[in-house]
Amino acid sequence: MATILLLSGPNLNLFGTREPEIYGPDTLDDMVGDARDAASKAGYDLEHVQSNHEGDLVDAIHEARGRCAAVIVNAGALTHSSYALADALAAFDGVKVELHVSNPSAREAWRQTSVIAPSVTGVVAGFGRAGYRLAVEATITKLEDER
């Protein structure tokens, strides 16, 4: 069974309580559960790592090399500042999807630039909780198209 790595960055452990008017009432566990269900239905395994530390996320991507078929990353604020994360993603051979619960393009100016975007296959943004499921479905579609 092929494995998809799902990464959740800083402060995403606060989903459900942090700015619910922007991020909704659902918890990270709710969203990861949706992603895991979508992966399982398609015959894929899903691993999830959440960290508030940039280096942990970089390490997880490095450890996925040669082991995972794809990486989905909701990097949170690191999306806009982490060249280390961008470099780690660039070094990963496989499908890579950037994920956002909100739509960064419709928010503050500093959120409108993603430094990881040039290193990913595609982006899913602005669909709230459904984005986690949609990101898995898009990832699987791309993986199967590449077979």
Give me the CATH number covering residue 17: 3.40.50.9100
Query: What per-residue confidence (pLDDT) applies to 109?
Result: 76
The owner of tokens 């619910």 is 20
Return the pLDDT at 45: 98
Distance CA 112, CA 105 (A): 5
C-alpha triplet 142, 4, 140: angle, nearest 5°:
25
Name the domain count of the chain.
Answer: 1
Neighbouring C-beta atoms of residue 13, cutoff 10 Å: 17
Which residues are CB-neighbours of 12 under 8 A, at least 6 positions away?
A: 28, 50, 74, 76
Distance of alpha carbon 107 from alpha carbon 110, whole angstroms: 8
pLDDT of res. 20 = 82
Q: Residue 19: its pLDDT value, please?
A: 80
106: CB partners within 8 A, 6+ apart: 126
The verdict on pTM exceeding 0.85 is yes
What's the rounded Cα separation, in Å, for the pair 96 and 4? 10
Here the tokens at position 71 are 């990486």
- Its domain, for residue 53, covers 3-145
On the 0-12 / 13-18 / 19+ scale of CB atoms within 10 A, 101 is: buried
Q: Supply the residues annotated as catalytic.
A: 23, 100
pLDDT (0 to 100) of residue 106: 60
DSSP string of 15-63? TTTS-HHHH-S--HHHHHHHHHHHHHHTT-EEEEEE-S-HHHHHHHHHH
What's the average pLDDT block by block, 10 residues per block, for the chain (147 residues)?
A: 95 90 89 98 98 98 98 96 97 97 74 89 95 98 91
